[in-house]
Amino acid sequence: MAARLTLITGVGRAGQVGEAVARHFAEHGDHVLLVSRNADEVAARAHALTAAGFAATAYACDLADTSDVQRLADRVTHDHGASLDALVNLAGGFALSGPVAESTADTWEHMARINLRTAYETTRVFLPHLRSARGAVVYFSAAATLPGGAVSGMWAYTAAKGAVLTLMRAVAAEERKTGVRSNAVAPTAIRTESNLDSMGDQVRFVEREDVARAVWYLCSDDARAVTGQVVRLG
């Protein structure tokens, strides 16, 4: 049986959640296609996996650029065919916006570009590949977007991540007839190197490996009947 093919965006710097998710999928036998804007970083993450005996391919792409994402899809199709078992939309980032009255449009546009537009562009272009395999999509939102979440001072980030949930639900409803599943995880702060540097080690973090296991479950046959759902982590 051929290995499953999983595309994971946002797999760049070492010590981040993308690295752990990619490793978990590779250890379970998937051929992982790793995508990041930084060519050197994503190549290093793929090399670490292939050196350990796993199947991984690196692709550099600006996921907020429509033309660049189409070129990515063309390269993936050329290299691996037009079928994809799973898409993990992990690319994104965080920045404080401050109070609404003191915020700037630039911060909002940046948060929307790297968190929402990247997920939209990637989903749109790879949906035909996912339909072919009746595959799964997983989005990354944030626990702060859920009822009762603290959004003060970071409204731009949570607004973008809230819109990601709307995108997820739209895909779940629209693709139900094609067999494509669409779900999301909504973690609190994850124990990554960048979060440790900025927040210290006294925070109650979600472990990267726990995130990876949740994403794997949503892409697995065990979750074949699960779509349109949000899994809070932490």
- 149-197 pLDDT, tens per residue? 989 999 999 999 999 999 999 999 999 999 999 999 999 989 888 888 8
Prediction pTM value? 0.96
Distance of alpha carbon 192 from alpha carbon 206, whole angstroms: 9
5-233 CATH fold = Rossmann fold (3.40.50)
Domain ranges for the chain: 5-233
Distance of alpha carbon 221 from alpha carbon 73, whole angstroms: 25
Distance of alpha carbon 49 from alpha carbon 26, whole angstroms: 8
Q: What is the pLDDT of residues 33-78, one digit of tens each?
A: 999 999 999 999 999 999 999 999 999 999 999 999 999 999 999 9
Adjacency order of strands within the sheet including 5-9 = 56-60, 31-36, 5-9, 86-89, 136-140, 181-187, 230-233
pLDDT at 129: 98
Q: What is the pLDDT of residues 71-101, one digit of tens each?
A: 999 999 999 999 999 999 999 999 999 999 9
Q: What is the pLDDT of residues 92-134, one digit of tens each?
A: 999 999 999 999 999 999 999 999 999 999 999 999 999 999 9
Look-up: residue for tokens 């979750």? 223
Tell me: pLDDT of 27 over 80. Answer: yes
pLDDT at 199: 87
Buried b / exposed e over 134-173, threshold 16 CB at 10 Å, is: ebbbbbbbbbbbeeebebeebbbbbbbbbbbbebbbebbe
Reported as a pLDDT band with limits 50, 70 and 90, residue 1 is: low
Look-up: residue for tokens 């693709």? 175
Torsion 134-138-139-145 (CA) sign: positive
